Amino acid sequence: MADSTGIQLGSPAVGAAGLIPAAPGAAGTEGSGAAGGSARIAAKKAQLRSSPRPKKLEKLGVYSSCKAEGACKCNGWKNQNPPPTPPQTDQQSNTVNLQEPCRSCSHTLGDHVTHLENVSEEEMNRLLGIVLDVEYLYTCVHKEEDADTKQVYFSLFKLLRKSIVQMGKPMLEAQESPPFEKPSIEQGVNNFVQYKFSHLPSKERQTIMELAKMFLNQINYWQLETPSQRRQRVPSDDVVGYKVSYTRWLCYCNVPQFCDSLPRYETTQIFGRTLLRSVFTVMRKQLLEQARQEKDKLPPEKRTLILTHFPKFLSMLEEEVYSHSSPIWSQDFLVGATGGQIPIHTVISAPPVARPIYYSTSPVSVDPSTCGSVSPARKPASVLESNPVGEKRKASEPLHHEENKRPKVVGDIPMDLINEVMATISDPATIPETSLLSAHSARDEAARLEERRGVIEFHVIGNSLNQKPNKRILMWLVGLQNVFSHQLPRMPKEYITRLVFDPKHKTLSLIKDGRVIGGICFRMFPSQGFTEIVFCAVTSNEQVKGYGTHLMNHLKEYHIKHEILNFLTYADEYAIGYFKKQGFSKDIKVPKTKYVGYIKDYEGATLMGCELNPSIPYTEFSVIIKKQKEIIKKLIERKQAQIRKVYPGLSCFKDGVRQIPIESIPGIRETGWKPAGKGKELKDPDQLYSTLKTILQHVKSHQNAWPFMEPVKKTEAPGYYQVIRFPMDLKTMSERLKSRYYTTRKLFMADMQRIFTNCREYNAPESEYFKCANILEKFFYTKIKEAGLIEK
């Protein structure tokens, strides 16, 4: 009874792809849907299980080998007078004669079922269920036309047939058992909802939750295309890998919907990103097409959800499915405070939200709220297609995961307290609204709200020399060329046209009411680790609405997804202010060797750079800051409520006391005051010498220390010593350290600081020396803190 029989997973099998799951062997047609097929089989099983025991024995005898003496090789009892096909109801009888001989071996029916004499009714009914599944699969094998599918049906048929003979449980034999990939599709979608929408108000999160459930349900009942159909549609695809997934899907998900004697799993729980990638594009297209065709049949409350929010939800999810750096597919994505995995249902039965966010895998255009800015470029590639792409956040691990790994610092606010405060402001109604014209309103707030309502869209678009022209994209490119030409009148129109239509450049375009109102033209240099922003402009009558800031934030998100974390641009005098507001500065983080020869110097403009932080969700940054401010405000209010106690005045001074320690003032510590931190002064001369020597060696080894290694030569910098009265360099410091001049840490730090101060006093801010001083100074103070010479 305990024996298990198995099947070796060989080839895949399945009906035609479609929206309604087909019963095995039904080739995916709508008329043979899952509900109808499984209901019919369930009804037959119920009818058979209610039959008298002799009738059950007759049914099982057909699949039981003969037990008569003499080693009979008959593998199943066969009726001498088989009933007509199909059987007539009025001719059916419940009278069964166990002495009736077998048409094949002449032994009686009783000789075939002797092993079932003492079997319980429950076990008998289980075996009868397998019998009906065997008969159903037999029909499927003969009706199925696809060779791969037929092979799997036949393997499952043999497996169930064998399990009846051995009275065991069907067991699929495979090198791997479910789940086949982690995280699963279900977990990935939950991570996506958490990653993209956890910051949104509860009502909007509830909308996203419904969309996520809808999507997962569609996958669980999706009919995969056969390997042969996929081979015809995508000849270059990994057919072998798809065939394995297809076979597993048939055996563990599809066939068990109708043959319940086989263990059944949900597709979204045992498959992961690999299967989702292979079906997502086709599935998305068919789902949206079906929704459009049946929109009149949808109830009004579902129409907006399915026709407006669902397409945007799928577009954003598509970006994460095909992105190589998306964090939602990391097994460590959702980690709670205790380090355990957050249950899936925290998200898919909690909240998420949909919003209109579009990107594309081609150039894109964005809008600065100010005038235009220019920067000539000379390289990247782009594609003529407008793929809606999701937005926001980083290519690295999520923020809350980093928080868990960060060492706790004395004075940190307990997470329990923060969660308690968050609960009081999670409802957006409790957060004071700021007028869009208020001084406290974020620059991009109005633009973000318009995007959420679907008033504006963002697309990365570009020209292509090897794809069929897309009329809509070409119209947008012409619109971008016009916007840049009008807003950047000093740039030659031919030059703008050449770069906008250059296949190596992309443009993040801002679309409103179907027309282009702004954009950012850029060129990516992945091998060099930076992107050059060439043009950035918004049409004049749409400025001062926050479009420029929101445009740049989308561009940052796009580049984080593509793992490029540096921007360079040549900004004219009208654009410097705009770029400063977007985080650009004259302090270029990209080594000069990386961009020299790749971008052209632009006469009369200033080179500016921006380093992106992959941990920042730029498009939602102002929302997060607003929420953080509310948290701090609530914490302050709580603290104030705790320290309202009034202490008596200090009377010690009446007794002649001139001064007292601050910490002895009653109530001072309750306010959160702490003694000012002081650096640790090393009293042991040898220990001080060793520590300072190590720090100095680290500084001298730094890549930006080269300008400060030796004293400045008069021939190289005429007039230097007229400007700098107290010169210092790393060589002089080494000699002083060797002679034990530095008897305290303060002397050492003063000399090092003099190096940086002298450099900044003599050199211009845009010079290489000025930048080296800034970088090396930060490095020096990092090492000083690590050594414990000053407080961290």
Which residues are known to be catalytic? Answer: 532
Distance CA 352, CA 216 (A): 14
Distance CA 105, CA 72 (A): 7
Name the residue among 247, 227, 229 with its Cα closest to residue 180.
247
Residue 519 pairs in a beta bridge with 509, 537
Residue 536 pairs in a beta bridge with 373, 520
Q: What is the DSSP string of 308-370?
A: IIHHHHHHHHHHHHH-TT-GGG-TTSSB-TTSSBPPTHHHHTS----------SS-B----SS
Distance CA 506, CA 461 (A): 6
Q: For residues 302 and 294, is the Cβ–Cβ distance under 8 A?
A: no
Name residue, tokens 């999507």.
Answer: 215
Cα atoms in the Cβ-side hemisphere of radius 13 Å centred on 13: 29
Helices and strands (H and E) in the chain: how many: 28, 9
Distance CA 590, CA 565 (A): 10
- 501: Cβ contacts below 8 Å, ≥ 6 apart: 463, 477, 481
SS3 of 15-44: CCCECCCECCCCCCCHHHEHHHHHHHHHHH
Q: Tell me the longest C-alpha to C-alpha distance in the chain.
A: 125
Alpha-carbon distance values, 642 to 353, 638, 667, 672 (Å):
37, 6, 11, 11
Q: Are strands 506-512 and 456-461 parallel, antiparallel or unpaired?
A: antiparallel
Distance CA 17, CA 229 (A): 9
Distance CA 464, CA 276 (A): 28
Q: Are strands 4-5 and 169-170 parallel, antiparallel or unpaired?
A: parallel
- 228: Cβ contacts below 8 Å, ≥ 6 apart: 146, 147, 148
Q: What one-letter code names the amino acid at 44?
A: K
Q: How far is CA 626 from the centre of its chain?
A: 24
